[in-house]
Amino acid sequence: MISYFSLVREIEKMKRKKLSVLILCDKFINSASTINDHINALMDSRHNVFAIHCREKIPDFVHFDWFDVVIIHYTIIVSSCNYLPLETSERIKKFNGLKACFIQDEYRFVNKTVDALKNLGIHVLFTCVRLDEIEKVYPRSALPDLRTVSVLTGYVPEKLKTAKVLSYEDREIDVSYRGRALPFWLGELGQEKINIAKKFKRDAESWGLKVDIDYREEARIYHEAWIKFLINSKACLGVESGASVFDFSGEVERNVCRHLQQNPDDTFENVKNLYFVDLEGKIKLNQISPRCFEAACLRTLMILYEGEYSGILIPWRHYVPLKKDHSNMKEVISVIRNKKRAKSIISKAYQEVALNPAFSYSSLTNIFDATLEQEFEKNKIIPSRIFRVILNVVICFANCYIRVFCLCRKIYSAFFGFSAKQYNFCKKLCMRIFVEKGLKIICSDKRIKD
């Protein structure tokens, strides 16, 4: 005869094979494709993963004790109460399960971020900082129990690998680019986004190139329009992602902003010499941009400033290196006009980068799963048993209810002609019933669509 305690132990073993994971994120409608792809990659986990928008108050019926793991996504700034309300912070702090956090743009308010991670009791940090630089940003002395896992800012979107593209000859634009004017206090790396646009656009006229280059905010392109833009371009410009100045206290940002309010026409070099010349390049955050993966997938030749690109891209094999003073423009132009050479570089980038499983979003999913499993076991975290049993029962009832509804829909459709519109209405009605019963998380659509 099986005792109650034996049964509970068996349930625990079964449940540990699949963890219940809650992701706190900022799911806004016009978010960039890379954000949606990143969240969806986490939701493709082999574990039971649910995402909830948390810029506003999380409903009271969502109990954190239902879950084994709580994840704070990088769309939420952990050190800002505008992104993570104080009430939510307190709930995370009191949560007894495994707590993890993804962070990007780690060069800003570093001290506040470290304090927030310590206060929330974060166990695992998925960071974009290089392994050899992590100690400078997240020192062991301040976060002794924190495990850091290095990840990329983005990965290869699965849907772009098989996208239909135009041949090199049929593309109307010779060179394209969309960037953004970044503030001075991000350092020289941030200014490269503007420099490459200004200099290449100026030189392109003398070479007779047809270009579409812009860095104004109103000229930015998103989602399908961006994909079509790249497909219609023979080549695209690019620089490394990140920043070359880490502002630990926020003092650099405040000083630079105050200075530019009084001297709006001052140059970057002068501002750098005044406020952050000693900080320039002390911590390296040079990374490959997700746009490089998109260009590789869509067979668009990459013309990039010389750099490391996370050790993934090799110059003259995967991209055409452009010197930062643009002194090799003649050599770059010759590759654009040499179809055979351009196609060879494009092909290698597609085969060795875009199709490389190590750079796919499934790779991020595997890293995510393996890390959670290791840390969950290492920390011997045992969630509230009663909530685990309740959640298990609720999921069973929810699944049964949905299956019965689908069966009734088929029967009704066969006899009375159930239209797609009527079906969607009934589906939404069922969803609403579950929401009102406090089961919104379980019944919500899993993936985020662009």
Q: What is the CATH number of the domain that holds 322?
A: 3.40.50
Residue 383 has pLDDT above 90, yes or no: no
| 183 and 293 share one domain | yes
Q: Is residue 403 part of a domain?
A: yes
Give percent above pLDDT 70 in the chain: 79
Token representation of residue 45 = 């986990």
The first and second tokens of residue 27, run together, are 């799911």
The verdict on 89 and 230 lying in the same domain is no
Higher-pLDDT residue of 421 and 241 is 241
Tell whether 111 and 233 lie within a shared domain. Answer: no
Q: What are the pLDDT digits (tens) for 303-338?
A: 999 999 999 999 999 999 999 999 999 999 999 999
Q: Kindly state the percentage of the chain with pLDDT values over 90.
A: 64
Average pLDDT over residues 367-379: 89
Q: Using 50, 70 and 90 to split pLDDT, how confident is the model at 155? A: very high
Answer yes or no: do 328 and 397 share one domain.
no
Q: Which comes out higher in pLDDT, residue 14 or 424?
A: 424
> Are residues 178 and 77 part of one domain?
no
Q: Which residue segment(s) compose the domain that 122 sits in? A: 4-155+360-378
326 falls within a domain: yes
- 407 and 304 co-located in one domain: no
Ranges 217-221, 263-267, 294-298: which has the least confidence: 217-221
Residue 26 within a domain: yes
pLDDT in tens, 256-268: 999 999 999 999 9
Hey, how many other C-beta atoms are within 10 angstroms of the C-beta on 254? 13
Q: Which range among 39-48, 149-158, 211-220, 439-448 shows the weakest confidence by mean pLDDT?
A: 439-448
CB burial of residue 190 (10 Å; 0-12, 13-18, 19+)? buried
Give buried/exposed letters for 127-157 (b at 16+ CB in 10 A, else e).
bbbbeebbeebbeeeebeebbbbbbbbbbbb
Same domain flag for 210 and 295: yes
426 in a structural domain:
yes
Answer yes or no: do 204 and 149 share one domain. Answer: no
pLDDT band of 273, cuts 50, 70, 90 = very high
Instruction: Tell me the pLDDT band of 416, cut-offs 50, 70 and 90.
Output: very low
- CB contact set of 230 (below 8 Å; sequence gap of 6+): 176, 236, 294, 295, 298, 300
Pull the structure tokens for residue 378.
Answer: 């290492």
Question: Is 261 inside a domain boundary?
Answer: no
Residue with tokens 């909830």, as numbered in its chain: 52
- In this structure, are residues 154 and 289 in contact, taking their beta carbons and an 8 Å threshold? yes
Report the pLDDT averaged over residues 71-90: 91
The confidence band for 439, taking pLDDT boundaries of 50, 70 and 90, is very low
Could you give the number of structural domains in the chain?
3
